[in-house]
Structure 1
Amino acid sequence: MPQMMPINWIFSLFMFIMIFIMFNMLNYYISIIKMNNKMNNNNFLLKKNNWKW
């Protein structure tokens, strides 16, 4: 049915945009969590390894 093709294209575009936005949000928040963990670990290591030669 050719009359339904525009709806299919609009639906496909909508799904692509939603998946794209979700993917970007997940990447953003995962990188923030990893960065916070690295900063906390670095601070912990700096405080722990306080060698006096």
Structure 2
Amino acid sequence: MPQMMPMNWVLMFLFFVMIFILFNIMNYFSVYKLPTTKSSVKTLTKTLSWKW
């Protein structure tokens, strides 16, 4: 049935677009980020003695 071919192409296109979107969403949200805490970041304060 050649008259049904455009419908199959559209369905196949939509199918691959949905897979592509799902793949990108899964990759975007699968990144696990550790929260940084204040105790792990140490700030070095250096005292300067001005001699003037």
**TM-score, scaled relative to structure 2:** 0.63
Which of the pair has more CA radius of gyration? 2
- CA-based RMSD: 1.8
Give runs of ≥4 in structure 1 deviating > 3 Å: none
Aligned length: 39
Superposition deviation, residue 9 in structure 1: 0.1
Structure 1 position 24 matched with structure 2 position 34: no
Question: How far off is 1:13 after superposition?
Answer: 0.2
Percent identity, please.
Answer: 44
Superposed counterparts of 1:1-53, under 5 Å = 1-31=1-31, 34=32, 36=33, 39-40=34-35, 43=37, 46=40
TM-score (norm 1): 0.62
